[in-house]
């Protein structure tokens, strides 16, 4: 797509959503993986601590309709840079992908509410979703999560019991992290090779435990979706390479709709994060 047509498309979409009220409601503090979870771990940064961070919420409510599917078709481009991760040892902690490609990544956690509209919406827009699930919700309905991840997504460990890992021994952390990956593997042909720590809290033992069972990154996030709105950690729009956190809750359909509109406005594609974080050769 040429820059000119892209610009025209962006203006057209902007016109379509003109009249939407945008309010900057100011700074507030949220806790990681809570109702409005934001974690402050940086890309390739230090292991996350039990943190909260100050963010600015841009309360842009999207239209109650969906954007045209033509605005979110998957584009093809030389993807990169692709992160090379060692095949063994402590894996990195990542909250955004360092790329200039016009892509963002959707991640959905926990699994407690299973809205039947969500897999239909993701299929309609061909959106890959990277899921981080716990044992109880996953085993309640594995087929539902398979359908949610069917557009190029994956199902990954979020621990078995959604416990705070930093309170556990290294062996117990490994049981939580790798045990959940094993459970996924019993139901899916290939379990995902990423991991998210509950509450955005991890330490070096977490990274080592994850690396011991075929996981190659601990994933945090750089923007969140709650109550049908996008919450940015930086600025008032998505950044290329942003990892976006949301949850299987009653607001998930509205959250994805908000993300689709924002991606259409900014000319971004929701891409498979595994394209940028592949398994090491032979991994």
Which residues sit at the interface with Zn ion, rule CB under 5 A?
33, 109-110, 198
213 CB contacts (<8 Å, ≥6 apart)? 174, 177, 178, 181, 182
Least distance between Zn ion and beta carbon 259 (Å): 18
Show the CA angle centred on residue 209, arms to residues 32 and 190, nearest 5°: 90
User: Taking a C-beta distance cutoff of 8 angstroms, is the pair 277, 216 a contact?
Assistant: yes
Q: Is 59 or 166 the residue whose CB approaches Zn ion more closely?
A: 166
14 CB contacts (<8 Å, ≥6 apart)? 265
257 CB contacts (<8 Å, ≥6 apart)? 62, 66, 121, 228
**Which residue is closest to Zn ion by CB?**
109
Q: Is 109 or 254 the residue whose CB approaches Zn ion more closely?
A: 109
Identify the DSSP state of 19: T
Identify the DSSP state of 106: E
- Which 3-state string (H, E, C) describes 224-251? EEECCEEEECCCCCCCCCEEEEEECCCC
CA distance 129 to 194: 13
Least distance between Zn ion and beta carbon 212 (Å): 22
Q: Is 73 or 140 the residue whose CB approaches Zn ion more closely?
A: 140
Least distance between Zn ion and beta carbon 159 (Å): 8
Least distance between Zn ion and beta carbon 252 (Å): 13
Least distance between Zn ion and beta carbon 91 (Å): 19
Least distance between Zn ion and beta carbon 85 (Å): 23
Q: Is 156 or 207 the residue whose CB approaches Zn ion more closely?
A: 156
Q: What is the largest CA-CA distance in the chain?
A: 56
Q: Is 49 or 58 the residue whose CB approaches Zn ion more closely?
A: 49
Q: Is 101 or 109 the residue whose CB approaches Zn ion more closely?
A: 109
What is the three-class DSSP state of 101? coil
């Amino acid at each position: 797509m040429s820059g000119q047509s892209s610009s025209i498309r962006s203006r057209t979409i902007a016109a379509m959503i003109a009249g939407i009220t945008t309010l900057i409601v100011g700074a507030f503090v949220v806790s990681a993986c809570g109702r409005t979870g934001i974690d402050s771990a940086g890309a390739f940064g230090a292991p996350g601590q039990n943190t909260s961070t100050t963010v600015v919420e841009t309360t842009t409510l999207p239209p109650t309709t969906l954007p045209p599917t033509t605005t979110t078709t998957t584009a093809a481009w030389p993807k990169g840079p692709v992160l090379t991760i060692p095949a063994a040892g402590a894996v990195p902690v990542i909250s955004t992908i360092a790329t200039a490609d016009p892509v963002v990544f959707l991640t959905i956690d926990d699994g407690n509410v299973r809205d039947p509209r969500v897999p239909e919406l993701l299929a309609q827009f061909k959106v890959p979703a990277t899921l981080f699930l716990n044992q109880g919700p996953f085993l309640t309905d594995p087929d539902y999560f398979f359908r949610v991840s069917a557009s190029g997504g994956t199902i990954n460990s979020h621990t078995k019991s959604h416990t705070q890992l930093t309170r556990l021994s290294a062996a117990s952390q490994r049981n939580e992290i790798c045990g959940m990956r094993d459970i996924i593997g019993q139901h899916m042909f290939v379990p995902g090779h990423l991991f998210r720590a509950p509450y955005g809290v991890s330490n070096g033992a977490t990274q080592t435990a994850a690396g011991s069972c075929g996981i190659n990154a601990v994933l945090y996030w750089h923007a969140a979706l709650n109550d049908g709105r996008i919450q940015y950690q930086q600025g008032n729009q998505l950044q290329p390479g942003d990892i976006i956190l949301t949850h299987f809750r009653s607001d998930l359909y509205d959250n994805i709709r908000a993300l689709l509109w924002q991606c259409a406005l900014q000319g971004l594609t929701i891409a498979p994060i595994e394209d940028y974080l592949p398994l090491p050769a032979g991994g």
